[in-house]
């Protein structure tokens, strides 16, 4: 581009140079012609008996003159100078040439007005510019076609490896077909990077599973000790209350460990996906299970599953857990006397179940983080360990579903669970 | 009733033994695979509790072998592994129940009782609370000839308290029994209170329910 720019900047100079070269060349040509004529026909061809000859075109753009001059003058130049032709002073490009015939010295002058030179100077410039523009356009088009062809493996790599991959990555990635070593190298590096990420992820998963397992035995011991202590005859009522407080704290630890264990079990694919679930039955069960919470806040739930599409190749317990958590949240983040609506729809070959509440909603800047583990927001001072939606997300990934959230603070939240048909 | 507890965590084994003793079970303890197998070969037990993560062998293998020597015993698997296939395999190998650690001790006893009802055809004496008559298997509660409608959860709660009569049960112990252990992130639930209130309301129509006590700050107890 810089080269093209420089070229365009230099263009007037170049054209002027070309034009003046061309003028010089045509002046020389004319000189040759004149000399040839003289040789062939003698000087009288021009002089016709006179001792000088002059001729110019109608608009005085060109002139030619031949005259005798002092015998010792010798010139052969081309320069820009002024001449007076019939009272008009004009600037000419003039070729002056002296030659001897017999014993006389003659001066031949052929001139061309600079104005007329500039005239085709301009048109030449314009023409050159057109050619240039066409060339540039042509080269851009060719470049595009050519580079697109050339870098097709690159866009393929980006699409396959970077933009369309969902985490965790599939194992055993196939290599992309390309004969370009650089692309091969890039692709191999990306595959190895993905493998490394997978490995790190596996390790983290294993750690979570192991850690939560390891917690279970000590929690078990503490819990059972407290239970026995609680029912000792020697334990006073005030001691009992302290023990219950401890048990409640331990319960918290237990729930966190259990939830982490559940997430890691889902991520390690320890659930069978071979059940068929009828949404209306699933929600009836969830409603029964959660009735006491609805009653406590006097929340109305409206289960309106018109399509009630059978869900195949799923896991009942996981779907139960998924929707239980969503409904539970819809209760938890709802106000007294609130509403929850469960509805479904079939659109674009997809079956969608919606869980909608008119509760406190989620601020927009918090939306991207609601599925993160242990994420709690200041606005939600309710009990909970912050793993409910993390569990939801792991189930969504495992069952190959999609989830969408729309929320407006103060108005409510809508979760959409999308099943591919 | 004789129980063998095969559990390598000694403290845990002692706590289970301690609890079962109060419920009139006699327990033997084994802390390893070999020790457990030894005791199974020598003695007859009514219940055998097997921890899956033993240091010198797999609990499921032990279960398989134990069945030869003690075919009539009731087997309960205890595990902290919590893997689905453990549960499936365990039940396939003839275990009668499966408890994921950590479990509440009253829950263990309630499972043992349920197995007894199923397996040993133990017919409980007619359970009476004041003038209320309770049939656990059929899940009925009568006042005289009048059948009283309790919801499933209300009946579960009442029978669980009844099984552990004279022992105070905490709200956490009760809710885990009623709602199970699935990941629910409300740890301070007072929903049990609502159910107790409903039970009292339904029964008080016929007769005061003084036997159902609230132990302030702790939980509930049936006194008999």
What are the residue ranges spanned by the domains of chain B?
2-119, 127-222
Residues paired with residue B214 on neighbouring β-strands, in sequence order: B220
pLDDT of residue B82: 66
What's the whole-number mean pLDDT along residues A82-103?
81
What's the whole-number mean pLDDT along residues B93-105?
91
Q: Please tell me which of the candidates A219, A248, A296 has its beta carbon nearest to residue B187.
A: A248
| Nearby residues of A169 by Cβ (< 8 Å), 6 or more positions away | A194, A197, A198
Q: Whole-angstrom Cα distance, residue A82 to residue A94?
A: 9
A281 inside 8 A of chain B by CB: no
Contact between residue B136 and residue B110 where contact means Cβ atoms under 8 Å apart:
no
B85 CA: distance to closest CA in chain A (Å): 8
A291 CA: distance to closest CA in chain B (Å): 10
- Report which DSSP code applies to A50: S
Q: Report the topology of domain B2-119.
A: Rossmann fold (3.40.50)
Start and end residues for every CATH 1.10.287 domain found in chain A: 181-267
Q: Which two tokens stand for residue A408?
A: 């407006």
Positive or negative torsion for Cα A324, A326, A331, A333: positive
Please name the residues between 21 and 80 in chain A that touch chain B, using a CB distance below 8 Å.
none
pLDDT of residue B138: 82
Q: Which two tokens stand for residue A271?
A: 């659930």
pLDDT digits (tens, 9 = 90+) for A387-414: 889 999 999 999 999 999 999 998 999 9
Strands B2-6 and B47-51: parallel
pLDDT of residue B125: 62
A365 CA: distance to closest CA in chain B (Å): 24
The CATH-assigned architecture of domain A181-267 is Orthogonal Bundle (1.10)
| Whether residue A382 has pLDDT greater than 60 | no
Whole-number mean pLDDT of chain A? Answer: 86
Phi/psi at A88 (5° precision): -95, 130
Closest CA to A218 of A257, A266, A259: A257
**Total Cβ atoms within 10 A of residue B122:** 10
Closest CA to B60 of B42, B78, B43, B72: B78
| Nearby residues of A184 by Cβ (< 8 Å), 6 or more positions away | A175, A178
Residues paired with residue B14 on neighbouring β-strands, in sequence order: none
pLDDT digits (tens, 9 = 90+) for B26-39: 999 999 999 999 99
Phi/psi at A59 (5° precision): -95, 15
Q: Please tell me which of the candidates A228, A230, A387 has its beta carbon nearest to residue B185.
A: A387
pLDDT digits (tens, 9 = 90+) for A152-189: 888 888 887 777 766 667 777 777 777 788 888 888 88
Q: Please tell me which of the candidates A216, A272, A320 has its beta carbon nearest to residue B102.
A: A216
* CA-to-CA dists, residue B200 to B155, B167, B218, angstroms: 12, 19, 18
pTM score, two decimals? Answer: 0.68
Q: Report the topology of domain B127-222.
A: Arc Repressor Mutant, subunit A (1.10.10)
Q: Is the domain defined by A275-420 classed in CATH 3.30.565.10?
A: yes
Whether omega before A310 lies within 30 degrees of 0, making that bond cis, reads no
Q: Whole-angstrom Cα distance, residue A58 to residue A55?
A: 10
């Amino acid at each position: 581009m810089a080269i093209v720019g420089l070229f365009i900047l230099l263009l007037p100079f170049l054209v002027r140079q070309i034009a003046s070269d061309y003028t010089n060349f045509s002046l020389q040509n004319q000189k040759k012609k004149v000399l040839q004529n003289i040789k062939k026909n003698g000087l009288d061809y021009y002089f016709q008996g006179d001792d000088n000859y002059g001729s110019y075109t109608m608009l005085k753009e060109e002139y030619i003159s031949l005259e005798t001059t002092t015998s010792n003058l010798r010139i052969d130049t081309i320069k820009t100078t002024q001449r007076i032709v019939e009272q008009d002073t004009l600037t000419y490009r003039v070729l002056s040439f002296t030659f001897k015939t017999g014993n006389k010295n003659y001066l031949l002058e052929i001139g061309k007005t600079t104005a007329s030179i500039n005239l085709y100077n301009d048109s030449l410039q314009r023409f050159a510019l057109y050619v240039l523009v066409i060339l540039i356009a042509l080269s851009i088009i060719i470049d595009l076609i050519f580079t697109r062809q050339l870098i097709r493996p690159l866009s393929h790599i980006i699409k396959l490896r970077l933009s369309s991959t969902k985490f965790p990555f599939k194992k055993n990635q196939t290599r992309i077909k390309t004969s370009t070593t650089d692309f091969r190298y890039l692709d191999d590096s990306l595959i190895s990077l993905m493998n490394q990420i997978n490995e790190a992820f596996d390790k983290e998963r294993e750690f979570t599973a192991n850690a939560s397992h390891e917690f279970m035995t000590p929690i078990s011991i503490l819990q059972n000790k407290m239970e026995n202590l609680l029912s000792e005859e020697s334990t006073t009522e005030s001691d009992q209350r302290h023990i219950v407080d401890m048990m409640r704290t331990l319960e918290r630890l237990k729930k966190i460990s259990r939830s982490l264990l559940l997430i890691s079990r889902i991520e390690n694919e320890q659930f069978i996906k071979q059940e068929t679930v009828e949404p209306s039955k699933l929600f009836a069960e969830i409603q029964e299970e959660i009735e006491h919470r609805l009653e406590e806040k006097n929340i109305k739930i409206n289960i309106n599953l018109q399509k009630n599409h059978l869900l195949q190749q799923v896991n009942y317990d996981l779907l139960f857990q998924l929707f239980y958590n969503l409904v539970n949240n819809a209760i938890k983040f709802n106000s007294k006397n609130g509403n929850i609506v469960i509805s479904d729809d079939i659109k674009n070959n997809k079956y969608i179940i919606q869980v909608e509440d008119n509760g406190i909603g989620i601020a927009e800047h918090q939306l991207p983080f609601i599925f993160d583990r242990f994420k709690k927001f200041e606005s939600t001072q309710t009990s909970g360990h912050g793993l409910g939606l993390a569990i939801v997300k792991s189930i969504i990934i495992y069952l190959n579903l999609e989830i969408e959230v729309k929320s407006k603070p103060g108005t409510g939240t809508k979760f959409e669970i999308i099943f591919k048909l | 009733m004789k129980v063998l507890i095969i559990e390598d965590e000694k403290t845990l084994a002692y706590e289970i033994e301690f609890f079962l003793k109060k419920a009139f079970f006699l327990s033997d303890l084994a802390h390893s695979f070999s020790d457990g197998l030894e005791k199974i070969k020598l003695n007859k037990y009514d219940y055998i509790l097997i921890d899956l993560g033993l240091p010198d062998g797999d609990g499921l293998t032990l279960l398989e072998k134990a069945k030869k020597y003690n075919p009539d015993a009731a087997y309960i698997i205890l595990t902290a592994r919590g893997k689905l296939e453990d549960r499936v395999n365990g039940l396939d190998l003839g275990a009668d129940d499966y408890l994921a650690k950590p479990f509440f001790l009253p829950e263990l006893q309630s499972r043992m009782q349920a197995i007894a009802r199923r397996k040993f055809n133990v017919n409980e004496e007619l359970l009476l609370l004041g003038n209320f008559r309770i049939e656990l298997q059929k899940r009925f509660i009568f006042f005289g000839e009048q059948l009283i409608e309790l919801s499933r959860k209300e009946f579960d709660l009442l029978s669980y308290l009844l099984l552990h009569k004279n022992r105070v049960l905490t709200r956490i112990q009760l809710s885990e029994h009623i709602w199970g252990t699935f990941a629910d992130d409300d740890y301070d639930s007072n929903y049990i209170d609502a159910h107790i209130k409903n039970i009292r309301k339904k029964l008080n129509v016929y007769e005061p329910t003084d036997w159902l006590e609230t132990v302030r700050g702790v939980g509930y107890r049936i006194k008999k």
